[in-house]
Structure 1
Amino acid sequence: MRRVVAALTALLVLTGCDDAGASPAAATPSTAPAAASGGACQLLDFPVVNAKLGLQYGAAAAATLENTFTCVLQPQKAPLPDLILSVSATTIGPDIYATAVQPKGAAPVQGLGAAAYQRQSPAAEGTGPAVEVGWLAGNKRIIQLTVHLPAGTGDDKATELLPKLVDLAKLIDLSSL
């Protein structure tokens, strides 16, 4: 499931699809709220995200494919750091989530949804390290929040960002009820 969401998100980012998934979408200008992009962006607010994470997002794009809604936030003039939010409807419970969706080796997160995890990933080609928080929301949604940092960013910066991302996830979880 995680690979499907990641592949879908990458495809949507590369194709620049709008909510219908069929036509190019322009990034939301910095004067418009992230929610104006629709989709999962309706759960995000630039000032709140920027304050929580200490980053400067100003562009948003959303897409929908079947039962998955995504949102990508980026700085106005750079591709990274990006923030990707995906939300998918599900019928699974916490036990299946923990065994089938949660990545092996991820650390549990208390106080977030019915089941939740956090993890840090090393730098990949073209990016720096990434941090991720995923959870099964009480309203039967699988939600994943990921930040990819720019190439050359040290692992220590990702380690500092992870608890901030967990705090943002807890705010998103409350807004998705």
Structure 2
Amino acid sequence: MRKVLLAAFCALLLGGCDGDAGAAPATQRSTAPAAAAGGACQLLDFAMVNAKLGLDLNVAAAATQDNTFTCVLQTQGASYPDLILSVSSTTVGADVFGSIVQPKDAAAVQGLGLVGYQMPTPAADNAGPGVEVGWLAGNKRIIELSLRFAPGTGDDKAAEAIPKVVELAKLIDLSSL
């Protein structure tokens, strides 16, 4: 999945790159409606995302590799904040998702898919703190939604975003049926 995300980032930020991601999957770049980018972007709408998160995201890039579809939303000309959505088909059940896929330090989210979680993510090299929400959808898909802020953003802003990202995830879950 990291290769797919790298390809989506490269398509969005650099118009493609030759990093160590191997053969780059098909990617598209768009400033049209998010769904026009294809891939997991078909589950997103700029107006819905921006209303829920209080952001101004307006550029979408999608990538597909094997059974994983991704989407990255950003503001034109800025690397952060960014919203990443990935959707992968699976055969695992809720018990396996909860014990293997869900990070150990994540908190459960009620009313999100068959089983869901939320967690803050710490700042990393060249990226600020963020939020991750993941769930096993009723249609046998593992869906992950993450929001990352710019370097130097306080952890309090990421903490405030958790319920907003969870609410967005619930909307996406309904649209993936």
Tell me the TM-score normalized by structure 2: 0.90
CA distance in 1, matches of 2:100, 2:145: 18
Query: Once superposed, what is the RMSD of the aligned Cα atoms?
Result: 1.7
CA distance in 1, matches of 2:175, 2:27: 28
CA distance in 2, matches of 1:71, 1:153: 23
2:4 matched to which residue of 1?
8
Does 1:117 pair with 2:117?
yes
Does 1:28 pair with 2:30?
yes
Q: Which runs of 5+ in 1 are unaligned?
A: none
Work out the number of aligned pairs and report it: 168
1:154-173, aligned counterparts within 5 Å?
Answer: 154-173=154-173
CA distance in 2, matches of 1:149, 1:85: 15
1:8-157, aligned counterparts within 5 Å?
Answer: 8-15=4-11, 22=25, 25=28, 27-29=29-31, 32-157=32-157
Quote the offset at 1:28 in angstroms. 1.2
Tell me the TM-score normalized by structure 1: 0.90
Q: Which runs of 5+ in 2 are unaligned?
A: 17-23
Specify whether residues 157 and 97 from structure 1 end up closer, same or farther in structure 2 by C-alpha distance, changes over 3 A only: same
Specify whether residues 132 and 22 from structure 1 end up closer, same or farther in structure 2 by C-alpha distance, changes over 3 A only: closer
Verify the 8 A CA contact 2:7 2:25 in the aligned structure 1: no
Verify the 8 A CA contact 2:107 2:117 in the aligned structure 1: yes
CA distance in 2, matches of 1:36, 1:175: 16
CA distance in 2, matches of 1:12, 1:58: 15
Verify the 8 A CA contact 2:4 2:25 in the aligned structure 1: no
CA deviations over 1:95-130 (Å, ceiling 9, x no partner): 000011001110000000001000001111101101
Quote the offset at 1:13 in angstroms. 1.6
Specify whether residues 6 and 108 from structure 1 end up closer, same or farther in structure 2 by C-alpha distance, changes over 3 A only: farther
Specify whether residues 24 and 36 from structure 1 end up closer, same or farther in structure 2 by C-alpha distance, changes over 3 A only: closer
Question: What is the aligned-residue identity percentage?
Answer: 61
